[in-house]
């Protein structure tokens, strides 16, 4: 659908004329929002139909999205960027913000991804959460998330984007802590929430800077004036936006929350913490392209953050035994690729979004596969207790395997088309800084190799090798452990496997389909602009070959270590690096030592100062008044005559003072009068 021959186009300025087909767009947000409201307000009454109602609103939003995209495809490329202004929101002095929707290829790509993957995961969750008492609340939160995410991507101003940004943060918090009766889950939710607040501060700072610089926060004005703005201000704004992106997308150094966020139900991990919400940071960077274009330093920092996170997540992924946490580390690493691409400038924007879309499919598919494994294995997540599941869970094995091939970047699966382009783009030289191409290209290349290793490790440990769970049969076959919970792995119901199959099909074909004739890149061109083709420092065929060789090496190594070698059920001690990676490279310890403990010390000393100085001062004053009152009380002795004596004495004092002040002579005059 995207392969129609569109010529290269420059960035298109948004029009205010809304074509009839695009006027449906507000329904995109309204449907899931109303769904969430109904489910939350109806309470227990909606227990029976709540789940399917949630599916219906999400599917309805997807249908609207398809209608809008079809309309958009019917327009020439120059008319595909539309600002649909809905109503005035904030009108205060110099600030004038309207609620409106920016409908363009970029936002609609996100809308399609969110509503399509979201609907599939809603369907999956109907079966996955079938036995949960609070299923209705779960679907209400999922709908809330979809609505907030659509606000985020459809907003036409940074302020409205911020509303969606907070909305997805709230939904994420509610869903991570969905089983909040478990203390560690509730703590994980709080951790995610607090770390996201740091990112939000970045976004607020960016909003303030924009208002100070441009006097507006809507995309149209900001992007129009950005090229003429001061570089230092643009750099500050860009860095503030990057902080926001780091918080939401779990990028270094704000990445610590994502692993713990796996406490949420698996559909949540698939939708929010793999496919959509965590990629909002990438969206923010690509959307703010005009700001980053004017701030090369900020762009460089974006690339560095992406590169560091890419390796960080990959290394952590190599050591995790919890299947969901290993996938979370992989998500972090893959988003590192996207951020890196987004920092490369126009040559990277389209591929960042491209990888985001394919990643949304294959990673969501793999998370659903992990959920299916957990479903069959009694909620076991330790991969050392898996093994040989390919026989008992065929559909899960095949769909997961397709996702695995996609993330490895094996041609012709989806990941190859997007990830390989990012590696190529990283190798493109930058004028004046020849080291950049080699460093970032090398990092991206190395990341691909490590990715192959840890994803193969995950895949092999789960589905291949020998059985490491107790099947309850004793040791008659002479293998497999006899300790641990007795497991009866079984394939998941249709409702769960069908979404997995659909996502697996996407993992196989989507990349090639979108890459065909550079269709996806042309589709995004009205937003990202046309990037002139530049040759990387190495020939393209060599980069592809090197990548594939590294990937093959990674797979081979994983095969040797986790299939042909016996995997111990007990966790081996491991090397220094393994132990560090198991502990997330000590990210929590660093955060605790650098931020948390000084922060606690600061708050404690503030509390102490408050008690001692502020409270102490006022309490002391009150005590002083009280003790004076205590003394003075003795004067109220009940004897009328002593009161009278005091009154008389007071009167005499008053008279004496009056006489003294007015001067003796005058006073005598006043008494005796002028007649004398």
Which residues are near other proteins by CB under 8 A?
633-634, 636-641, 644-645, 648, 671-676
CA distances from 40 to 76, 125, 193, 425 (A): 42, 18, 21, 46
274, 307, 461, 570, 581 from 325: Cα distances, Å? 11, 20, 14, 18, 12
- Return the number of the residue (133 or 676) whose C-beta is nearest other proteins: 676
CB 422, CB 355: distance < 8 Å: yes
CB of 674 vs other proteins, minimal distance in Å:
8
As measured in angstroms, the least distance from the Cβ of 663 to other proteins is 19
Residue 648 C-beta: closest distance to other proteins, Å: 6
> Based on CB atoms, which residue is closest to other proteins, 94 or 673?
673
- What is the token pair recorded at 462? 């789960």
> Dihedrals φ, ψ of 542, to 5°?
-70, -40
Tokens 């594939």, located at residue: 548
Tell me which residue of 273, 214, 204, 276 sits closest to 241, measured CA to CA.
204
3-state secondary structure of 374: helix
Q: Of 131 and 641, which CB lies nearer to other proteins in the complex structure?
A: 641
Which residues lie closer than 8 Å to 327 by C-beta, 6 or more apart? 262, 269, 274, 363, 366, 367, 370, 458
- Of 647 and 660, nearer to other proteins (C-beta) is 647
Burial profile 76-110: b = 16 or more Cβ within 10 angstroms, e = fewer: ebeebbbbbeeeeeeeeeeeebbbbbbbbbbbbbb
Q: For residues 473 and 668, which CB has a smaller minimum distance to other proteins in the complex?
A: 668
Strands (E), 458-530: none
State in angstroms the smallest separation of the CB of 646 from other proteins. Answer: 10
Reduced to 3 states (helix: H, G, I; strand: E, B; else coil), residue 612 is helix
Segments in 318-412 forming alpha helices (H): 323-343, 346-376, 394-408
Nearer to other proteins, 5 or 635 (CB): 635
Q: Compute the distance between CA of residue 546 and CA of residue 542 in angstroms, rounded to an integer.
A: 6
Question: At closest approach, how far in Å is the CB of 676 from other proteins?
Answer: 8
Q: How far is the CB of 640 from other proteins (least distance, A)?
A: 5
CA-to-CA distance for 638 and 622, rounded, in angstroms?
26
- 532 or 632: CB nearest other proteins: 632
Task: Provide, rounded to whole angstroms, the least separation between the CB of residue 200 and other proteins.
Answer: 59
Nearest-approach distance from CB 604 to other proteins, in angstroms? 44
Q: For the chain, what percentages of helix, strand and coil (3-state, to nearest 5) are there?
A: 75, 5, 25
**CB of 91 or CB of 675, closer to other proteins:** 675
Q: Are 318 and 457 in contact (CB under 8 A)?
A: yes
In whole angstroms, give the CA distance from residue 116 to residue 150.
Answer: 12
From 351, 169, 179, 178, select the one nearest 250 (Cα to Cα): 169
Q: What is the CA radius of gyration of the chain?
A: 33
Least separation in angstroms between CB 637 and other proteins: 5
Residue with Cβ nearer other proteins (194 or 670)? 670
CB of residue 658 to other proteins, shortest distance in Å: 16
Nearer to other proteins, 20 or 674 (CB): 674
Closer to other proteins by CB, 594 or 648: give it. 648
CB 647, min distance to other proteins, A: 10
Residues 6+ apart with CB under 8 A from 588: 256
**Please, what is the minimum distance in Å from the beta carbon of residue 675 to other proteins?**
6
When the beta carbons of 537 and 647 are compared against other proteins, the nearer one is: 647
Beta carbon nearer to other proteins, 232 or 625: 625
Q: Residue 490's CB: how many other CB atoms inside 10 A? A: 11
The least distance separating other proteins from the CB of residue 616, rounded to whole angstroms, comes to 30
* The two three-digit tokens of residue 423, written as one number: 């590696």
Which residue, among 517, 356, 343, 361, has the nearest Cα to 439 in the 3D structure?
Answer: 343
């Amino acid at each position: 659908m995207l392969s129609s021959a569109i010529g290269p186009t420059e960035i298109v300025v948004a029009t205010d004329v809304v074509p009839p087909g695009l006027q449906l767009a507000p329904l995109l947000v309204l449907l899931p929002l109303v769904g969430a409201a109904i489910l939350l307000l109806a309470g227990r009454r909606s227990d029976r139909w709540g789940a399917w109602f949630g599916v219906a609103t999400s599917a309805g939003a997807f249908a609207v999205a398809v209608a809008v995209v079809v309309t958009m495809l019917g327009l020439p490329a120059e008319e595909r960027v539309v600002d649909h202004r809905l109503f005035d929101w904030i009108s205060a002095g110099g600030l004038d913000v309207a609620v409106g929707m920016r409908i363009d290829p970029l936002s609609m790509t996100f809308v399609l991804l969110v509503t399509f993957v979201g609907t599939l995961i809603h369907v999956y969750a109907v079966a996955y959460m079938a036995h949960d008492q609070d299923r209705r609340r779960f679907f209400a939160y999922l709908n809330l998330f979809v609505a907030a995410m659509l606000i985020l991507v459809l907003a036409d101003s940074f302020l409205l984007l911020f509303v969606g940004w907070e909305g997805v943060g709230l939904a994420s918090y509610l869903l991570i802590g969905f089983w909040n009766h478990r203390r560690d889950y509730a703590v994980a939710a709080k951790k995610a929430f607090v770390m996201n607040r740091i990112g939000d501060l970045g976004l607020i700072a960016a909003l303030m800077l924009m208002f100070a610089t441009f006097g507006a926060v809507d995309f149209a004005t900001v992007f129009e004036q950005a090229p003429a703005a001061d570089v230092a201000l643009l750099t500050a704004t860009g860095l503030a936006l990057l902080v926001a992106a780091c918080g939401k997308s779990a990028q270094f150094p704000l990445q610590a929350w994502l692993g713990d966020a796996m406490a949420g139900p698996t559909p949540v991990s698939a939708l929010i913490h793999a496919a959509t919400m965590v990629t909002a940071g990438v969206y923010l960077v690509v959307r703010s392209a005009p700001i980053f274009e004017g701030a090369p330093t900020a762009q460089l920092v974006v690339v560095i953050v992406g590169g560091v996170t890419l390796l960080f997540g990959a290394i952590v992924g190599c050591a995790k035994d919890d299947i969901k946490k290993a996938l979370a580390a992989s998500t972090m690493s893959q988003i590192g690729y996207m951020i890196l691409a987004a920092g490369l400038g126009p040559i990277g924007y389209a591929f960042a979004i491209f990888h985001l879309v394919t990643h949304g499919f294959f990673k969501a598919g793999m998370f659903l596969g992990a959920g299916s494994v957990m479903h069959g294995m009694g909620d076991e997540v330790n991969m050392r207790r898996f093994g040989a599941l390919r026989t008992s869970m065929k559909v899960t094995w095949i769909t997961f395997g397709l996702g695995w091939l996609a993330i490895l970047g094996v041609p012709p699966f989806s990941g190859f088309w997007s990830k390989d382009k990012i590696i190529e783009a990283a190798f493109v030289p930058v004028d004046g800084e020849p080291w950049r191409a080699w460093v970032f290209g090398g990092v991206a290349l190395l990341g691909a190799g490590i990715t192959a290793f840890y994803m193969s490790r995950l895949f092999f440990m789960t589905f291949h090798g020998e059985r490491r769970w107790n099947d309850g049969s004793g040791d008659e076959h002479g293998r497999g452990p006899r300790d641990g919970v007795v497991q009866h792995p079984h394939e998941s119901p249709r409702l769960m496997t069908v979404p997995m199959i659909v996502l697996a099909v996407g993992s196989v074909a989507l990349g090639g389909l979108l890459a065909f004739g550079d269709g996806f890149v042309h589709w995004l061109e009205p937003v990202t602009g046309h990037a002139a083709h530049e040759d990387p420092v190495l020939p393209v065929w060599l980069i592809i070959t090197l990548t594939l060789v590294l990937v093959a090496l990674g797979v081979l190594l994983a095969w040797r270590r986790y299939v042909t070698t016996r995997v111990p059920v007990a966790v081996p001690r491991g090397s220094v690096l393994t132990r560090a990676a198991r502990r997330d490279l000590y990210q929590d310890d660093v955060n605790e030592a650098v931020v948390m403990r000084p922060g606690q010390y600061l708050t404690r000393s503030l509390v102490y100062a408050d008690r001692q100085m502020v409270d102490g001062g006022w309490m002391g004053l009150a005590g002083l008044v009280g003790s004076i009152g205590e003394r003075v009380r003795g004067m109220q002795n009940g004897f009328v005559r002593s009161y009278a004596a005091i009154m008389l004495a007071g009167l005499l004092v008053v008279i004496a003072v009056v006489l003294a002040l007015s001067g003796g002579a005058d006073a005598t005059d006043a008494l005796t009068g002028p007649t004398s």
